[in-house]
Chain A
Amino acid sequence: MKEGKNIMDRIAEASKSITTGVDEKDIKNWVTIYIMGRGYRVPADLTILTAMEYAGYKFIRGCGCRQGFCGACSTVYRRKGEYKLETGMACQTRVEDGMYLVQIPFTPAEKAIYDISKEEYNINVFFKYYPELARCVSCNTCTKACPQDLEVMDYVQAALKGDFEGITEDSFDCIQCGLCAIRCPAEIVQYHIAQLGRRMYGRYDNPEPEHLEKRLKEIKKGKFDKEMDEIIHLNRKELEKLYAERKREPD
């Protein structure tokens, strides 16, 4: 970093790889966004996440995969002149001119502790740990908030019917971003309920996979002990090489 540059330039430079990779003077399109009420001029083709970094924010939490999978970078925003409150993942949503936004890196939510092997496989398990489930008014606000386009209300309703298969299928792509819960007027924590449902369904409605049992036996017998021992003793370089050359399942 050269001396004398101002802070914004330094950040812009540091952000190059994660933003556009082009020089600021080559950027033609700019937009203004408002992060927690303060305006910033940012390149138009950035995501909210990269735009915030461009503006000087540094994420040490509330950001993970940058691929739309981890659910850490929830954002709430409004477009200029619109009454609707929108939600999205900062790493997946492009900035728009006049957008004002705030990050919701964490959703305060009660998370029940349970042992699925000790629970009975019926609807009561939902009410035992998440009795507020019964408060759902079918307003569908959760569905509107979901960045994964899940039918959130439908899976909540599946829980109310004791339909474990339904809740599993409808919530399968949930990334636990918490946006549905933040918006729910009934204060339901949809994604925790869904996780309980999927766990119960997996435990009680699916046969134990044969290949898993076989593999567990192999592990117990020590089939991989030698290989594991070798890996543990590799240095960083060797480990990286091994990783790069690993056998991969086709994508």
Chain B
Amino acid sequence: MIKLPYYPGCTLKTSAKNFEISAIESAKILDIELIELPRWNCCGTVFSLTSDDLIHHIAPIRNLIRVQEMNGNGIVKDEHRLVTLCSMCYNTLKRANLRVKENPDDFKKINDLMYLEEDYNGNVEVIHFLELLKKTGFEKVKEKVKKPLKNLKIAPYYGCMLLRPKEVGIDDPEDPTIQAELLESLGAEVIDNPYKKVCCGSYQTVQDKYVVSELTYDILTHAQREGAFAITTSCPLCAFNLDNRQKEVKEKHQDFKQIPVFYFTQLMAIAFGLGEKYCSFDLNYINPRPLLIDKKLL
């Protein structure tokens, strides 16, 4: 079992517990133990673009120091990768890491401000769980499948934070395939469509839910037109906008048919034969169980 530092983020401890638990249990099947970062703090949520706004990079860098500490006190051995699940956390942590490495002056200032902590040494590598799976090998993933997701037509949705900007993207920003590769290895039928990388509306959801529900309508109906039965995502905010906002979509578009939205890890858990025990489908807004029962996966 390889042990890796893992950063959950606030949402995975609250409204996206279904993402966390399905990921941790699926990882075990692949001999990966995701160990929660001790004393982690909020990632900072949004990467600050203002050039002199260093205070907002303290939160992400402090988390990277915790990875050093895990190595220091032997929780992990010589392991400098930090695994993330939430696309937003991934993006913020990775960009902050890049930013300090590219700006030695800022790096020093941030370390100075955190004088109670050991200095960050710049050696931590922030990765997304999907990258880890790719590195582990989708062949290996395939070997562990007990219940292939046969006849399950899935449209993977990527959103922005996994792909942009290019320096931190885990895949081709114009035509990402990493989720498709994973889903194929799980035995699913992948539905490709150009809306897979269209922004879900992000935090507009707080300001005006109907701005978001129109985007949701476009993204979902395009996938449905191509034949998708469900969507997968790796971002709790995308999931909220694509899943929960279907309520508002339905208000405006009577013809709209609701469609389940999974975290890709929930489908891993099902395909690995873990059943729904680790899926917490009660947290999905549109109940995915009828679909899975229909496809004899539950």
Question: Which one of B13, B14, B55 lies within 8 Å of A185 (CB-CB)?
Answer: B55
> Would A161 and B10 count as touching, CB distance under 8 A?
yes
> A144-B116, A157-B42 in contact; A162/B59 too (CB < 8 A)?
no
> A136-B42, A138-B41, A157-B41 in contact; A163/B114 too (CB < 8 A)?
no
Q: Kindly state whether residue B196 has any CB partner on chain A within 8 Å.
A: no
Q: Kindly state whether residue A154 has any CB partner on chain B within 8 Å.
A: yes
Given A140-B116, A161-B14, A185-B55, 9 more pairs with CB closer than 8 A? A138-B42, A138-B58, A139-B55, A144-B116, A151-B39, A160-B10, A160-B42, A161-B13, A162-B13
Q: Kindly state whether residue A122 has any CB partner on chain B within 8 Å.
A: yes
Interface residues on B, range: 10 to 19
Query: Can you report 27 residue pairs joining A to B where beta carbons are below 8 Å apart?
Result: A122-B14, A123-B14, A136-B42, A137-B44, A137-B55, A137-B56, A137-B58, A138-B42, A138-B58, A138-B59, A138-B62, A139-B58, A140-B116, A143-B116, A144-B116, A153-B41, A154-B39, A154-B41, A157-B40, A157-B42, A160-B10, A160-B41, A161-B10, A161-B13, A162-B14, A163-B13, A185-B55
Please indicate the chain A residues that have their CB under 8 angstroms from the CB of B42 in the complex. Answer: 136, 138, 157, 160
Q: Which of A137-183 contact B (CB under 8 A)?
A: 137-140, 143-144, 151, 153-154, 157, 160-163
B58 to nearest A CB, angstroms? 6
Q: Kindly state whether residue B293 has any CB partner on chain A within 8 Å.
A: no
Please indicate the chain A residues that have their CB under 8 angstroms from the CB of B10 in the complex. Answer: 160-162
Kindly count the residue-residue contacts between A and B in the assembled complex, taking CB atoms under 8 Å apart.
41
B244 to nearest A CB, angstroms? 15
Chain B residues with CB under 8 Å of chain A are 10, 13-14, 39-42, 44, 55-56, 58-59, 62, 113-114, 116
Please indicate the chain B residues that have their CB under 8 angstroms from the CB of A154 in the complex. Answer: 39, 41
Chain A residues with CB under 8 Å of chain B are 122-123, 136-140, 143-144, 151, 153-154, 157, 160-163, 185
Question: Which one of B14, B39, B40, B59 lies within 8 Å of A137 (CB-CB)?
Answer: B59
Please indicate the chain A residues that have their CB under 8 angstroms from the CB of B39 in the complex. Answer: 151, 154
Q: In the complex, A160→B14 CA distance in Å?
A: 9
Q: In the complex, A185→B59 CA distance in Å?
A: 14
Interface of B is mostly: loop
Q: In the complex, A154→B55 CA distance in Å?
A: 17
> Would A140 and B13 count as touching, CB distance under 8 A?
no
> Would B59 and A140 count as touching, CB distance under 8 A?
no
Q: In the complex, A154→B39 CA distance in Å?
A: 7
Q: In the complex, A140→B10 CA distance in Å?
A: 18
Q: In the complex, A138→B113 CA distance in Å?
A: 11
Please indicate the chain B residues that have their CB under 8 angstroms from the CB of A138 in the complex. Answer: 41-42, 44, 58-59, 62
Please indicate the chain B residues that have their CB under 8 angstroms from the CB of A157 in the complex. Answer: 40-42
Give A141's nearest chain B residue, CB to CB. Answer: B113
Q: In the complex, A161→B15 CA distance in Å?
A: 10
Please indicate the chain B residues that have their CB under 8 angstroms from the CB of A140 in the complex. Answer: 62, 114, 116
Give A143's nearest chain B residue, CB to CB. Answer: B116
Q: In the complex, A122→B283 CA distance in Å?
A: 14
Q: In the complex, A140→B66 CA distance in Å?
A: 14
B50 to nearest A CB, angstroms? 13
Scoring A140, A143, A163 by chain B CB atoms within 10 A of each residue's CB, the highest score goes to: A140
B28 to nearest A CB, angstroms? 23
Give B12's nearest chain A residue, CB to CB. Answer: A161
Q: In the complex, A136→B56 CA distance in Å?
A: 9
Please indicate the chain A residues that have their CB under 8 angstroms from the CB of B114 in the complex. Answer: 140
Q: In the complex, A158→B113 CA distance in Å?
A: 22
Scoring B10, B41, B58, B62 by chain A CB atoms within 10 A of each residue's CB, the highest score goes to: B41
Give A161's nearest chain B residue, CB to CB. Answer: B13
> Would A139 and B113 count as touching, CB distance under 8 A?
yes
A180 to nearest B CB, angstroms? 15
B262 to nearest A CB, angstroms? 23
Scoring A151, A160, A163 by chain B CB atoms within 10 A of each residue's CB, the highest score goes to: A160
Give B45's nearest chain A residue, CB to CB. Answer: A134
Give A185's nearest chain B residue, CB to CB. Answer: B55
